[in-house]
């Protein structure tokens, strides 16, 4: 088999005295018929190169499907006299949003059947589903191609019919006024940055909508939400290093937005409201966060109520009528506290590794906190915690069909030593009866202070039950170990992210879990950049690498201010127009550093309509890799979703097929000879 060869058209770029020739810059032009032809040819080559995996892929898909309870129901969540839920039905791609009157098993009303919305569309994703304050209307937004350009619609819940109004170019956040008369939504600028807040009066022409606020600083994104008690509209304006929250009473929707705290460079904060006071988590003089209480009517009377404690990262607040809940991280794990008399009081959990966080707490006047808990071996549980008595009730556990027994598996925390001596946590799961060393998948991300906390996965069982171990490398750049962990893996410190991942791979090999010829690395988006950098810097450490929608053309993307995210991303990666920042990025940028070396097998994916990582980044990367490739041609593959975006296919069955494809490819590359059954 011969792979497609992209035409090379030299395009020079001179920056800081260095001229770099890009032979594949032309792939950026999606209107060029040669681009679609090239992507199609790569897809055809990938299909041919993986045809021998068709049976395994079908078996894995069937395993996912068989283990999943296809007709299922979420735990109903109360809001006033209604209980809200989501249903799935066997054979249908998309969920059904519904509510029940008076009790969890009461008469049901369908709010939105996404299968009906998606009819005649190959792709469909819901961005916003916002129930009005009086629960008489639902606003919902739809994207039909993966571009994340959402069209807002309104449904009258008394009739079940949509109003004759649509608002284009909306994004992920929205809020209602107290009287259901006004609706607030956000639109994007030419670079797809959420920047403008609008007020729409129901029953009027959207052409008459009023601009409430415009964020002109291109580093900042704008989002809107309602406080937990629904008394205030909260507008968050945030960059990677600075934020500001402005408020507006929901019963005075025609008023002006007022800052809770002034915007201060380098200071981030989040805010909520409870009983006439704003509760604020701020990192001002507190890198991991402290809680400040600010009376709405007397902001000068602000006082600290929870002190900063290094290593205890505070990130979110949930005020209830008689309690305040704080979410964050401690000792590398997610954590939940209640606000006590002098400090925070922790809720404890009985597994060594887990993820816990809020789950659909729709009611303010309650003493019951609803949490979602899961681990690498425990399917997601919805747990109600009575904050008055401490009693815990498991409301629902995600069913795993086919006789799943968590006692067949073991999860543990490991620690690798990075090149600078930093200890890097690893979360590891495998079958207890797995022979060692054996095939292993190492997953990583490492950016934006986002944490890869342990999660349960039904598709992952198809790996574990074939003797594959699964590990998560909690590398710097993520938020697993607090704010400093993040800051030590960004900008000039970005190399730490790649060193940490390589150190985790080395640890797994040196401790007998696996060996380089049976180890696969996997990551997506910014995690795909991690995979691309590791491919150049540590090719000998892996048998295979999966880079999903990988951010690999870093410098060229960060030079193009017209692209979505570029300007705000300068605070994460750097601006290559600055000579020093260019030097950092040039040292690791995956596309720039492709060279003749013994690369492992590589599978890259892309989405033609992806607004976050443009399709041409993985396409250019693979094309350039082909010019230096010394392995069999079918060990380097590019698969582009021609009708989807950053998150891949939208329907659940198509998403399962995509995952089955990736898992089958991984198994083929690390099975050690002969396809596993």
Active site residues: 525, 610, 646
Give the whole-angstrom CA distance, residue 378 versus residue 454.
10
Burial of 131 (0-12, 13-18, 19+ CB in 10 A): buried
Residue ranges of E strands in 182-242 = 182-188, 194-201, 210-214, 221-226, 232-238
Angstrom CA distances, 111 to 80, 155, 171, 236, 259, stand at 16, 8, 20, 28, 35
CB 15, CB 576: distance < 8 Å: yes
CA 405 to chain centre: 29
Give the whole-angstrom CA distance, residue 46 versus residue 33.
20
Burial of 216 (0-12, 13-18, 19+ CB in 10 A): exposed
| CB-CB neighbours of 14 under 10 Å | 8
CA 368 to chain centre: 28
* CA dihedral for 143, 148, 154, 159, sign (positive or negative): positive
Q: Which helix (H) or strand (E) holds 328?
A: strand 324-330
The pair of structure tokens assigned to 465 is 């039950």
Give the whole-angstrom CA distance, residue 210 versus residue 206.
9
| CB-CB neighbours of 361 under 10 Å | 18
Side-chain half-sphere CA neighbours of 581 within 13 A: 16
| CB-CB neighbours of 215 under 10 Å | 21
* CA dihedral for 114, 101, 203, 164, sign (positive or negative): positive
SS3 381: strand
Of 97, 122, 53, nearest in space to 650 by CA: 122
CB 86, CB 104: distance < 8 Å: no
Give the bridge partners for 173, in sequence order.
none
SS3 string, 267-294, reads CCEEEEEECCEEEEEECCCCCCCEEEEE
Burial of 265 (0-12, 13-18, 19+ CB in 10 A): exposed
Give the whole-angstrom CA distance, residue 387 versus residue 21.
62
SS3 594: coil
Note if the bond before 437 is cis, omega within 30 degrees: yes
């Amino acid at each position: 088999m011969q792979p497609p060869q992209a035409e090379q058209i030299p395009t020079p770029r001179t920056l800081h005295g260095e001229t770099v020739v890009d032979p594949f810059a032309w792939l950026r032009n999606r209107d060029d018929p040669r681009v679609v032809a090239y992507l199609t040819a790569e897809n055809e080559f990938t299909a041919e190169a993986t045809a021998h995996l068709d049976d395994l892929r079908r078996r894995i898909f069937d395993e996912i499907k068989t283990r999943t309870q296809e007709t299922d129901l979420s735990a109903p969540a109360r809001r006033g006299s209604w209980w809200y839920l989501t249903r799935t039905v066997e054979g249908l791609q998309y969920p059904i949003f519904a509510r029940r009157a008076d009790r969890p098993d009461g008469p049901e009303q369908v709010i939105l059947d996404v299968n009906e919305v998606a009819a005649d569309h190959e792709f469909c994703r819901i961005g916003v589903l916002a129930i009005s304050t009086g629960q008489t209307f639902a606003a919902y937004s739809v994207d039909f191609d993966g571009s994340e350009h959402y069209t807002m619609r309104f449904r009258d819940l008394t009739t079940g019919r949509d109003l004759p109004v649509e608002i284009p170019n909306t994004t992920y956040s929205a809020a209602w006024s107290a009287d259901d008369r006004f609706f607030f939504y956000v639109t994007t600028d030419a670079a797809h940055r959420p920047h403008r807040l609008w007020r729409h009066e129901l029953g009027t022409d959207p052409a008459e909508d009023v601009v409430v606020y415009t964020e002109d600083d291109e580093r900042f994104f704008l989002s809107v939400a309602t406080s937990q008690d629904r008394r205030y509209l909260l507008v968050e304006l945030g960059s990677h290093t600075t934020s500001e929250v402005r408020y507006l009473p929901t019963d005075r929707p025609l008023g002006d937005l007022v800052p809770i705290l002034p915007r201060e460079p380098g200071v981030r904060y989040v805010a909520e409201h409870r009983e006439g006071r704003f509760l604020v988590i701020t990192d001002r003089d507190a890198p991991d966060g402290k809680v400040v209480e600010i009376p709405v009517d007397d902001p000068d009377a602000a006082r600290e109520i929870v002190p900063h404690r290094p290593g205890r990262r505070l990130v979110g607040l949930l005020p209830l009528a008689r309690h305040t809940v704080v979410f964050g991280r401690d000792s590398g794990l997610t954590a939940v506290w209640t606000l006590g008399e002098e400090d925070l009081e922790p809720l404890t959990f009985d597994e060594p590794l887990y993820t816990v966080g809020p789950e659909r707490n729709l009611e303010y006047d309650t003493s019951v906190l609803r949490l979602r808990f899961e681990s690498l071996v425990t399917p997601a549980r919805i747990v109600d915690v009575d904050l008055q008595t401490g009693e815990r009730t498991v409301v629902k556990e995600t069913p795993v069909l086919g006789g799943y027994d968590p006692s067949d598996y073991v999860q543990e925390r490991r620690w690798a030593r990075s090149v600078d001596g930093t200890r890097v946590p690893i979360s590891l799961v495998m079958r207890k009866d797995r022979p060692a060393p054996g095939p292993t998948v190492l997953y990583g991300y490492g950016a934006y202070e986002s944490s890869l906390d342990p999660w349960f996965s039904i598709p992952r069982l198809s790996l574990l039950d074939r003797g594959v171990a699964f590990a998560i490398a909690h590398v710097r750049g993520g938020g697993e170990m607090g704010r400093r962990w993040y800051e030590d893996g960004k900008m000039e410190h970005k190399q730490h992210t790649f060193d940490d991942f390589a150190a985790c791979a080395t640890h797994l090999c040196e401790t007998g879990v696996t060996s380089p010829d049976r180890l696969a690395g996997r990551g997506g988006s910014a995690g795909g950049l991690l995979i691309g950098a590791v491919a150049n810097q540590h090719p000998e450490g892996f048998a295979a690498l999966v880079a999903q929608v990988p951010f690999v053309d870093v410098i060229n993307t960060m030079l193009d201010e017209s692209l979505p995210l570029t300007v705000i991303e300068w605070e994460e990666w750097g601006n290559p127009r600055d000579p020093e920042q260019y030097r950092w990025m040039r040292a690791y940028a995956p596309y720039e550093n492709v060279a003749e070396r013994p690369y492992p097998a590589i599978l890259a994916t892309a989405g033609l309509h992806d607004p976050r990582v443009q399709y041409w980044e993985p396409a250019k990367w693979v094309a350039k890799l082909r010019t230096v490739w010394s392995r069999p041609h079918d060990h380097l593959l590019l698969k582009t979703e021609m009708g989807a975006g950053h998150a891949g296919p939208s329907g659940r069955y198509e998403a399962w097929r995509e995952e089955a494809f990736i898992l089958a490819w991984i198994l083929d590359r690390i099975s050690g000879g002969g396809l596993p059954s």
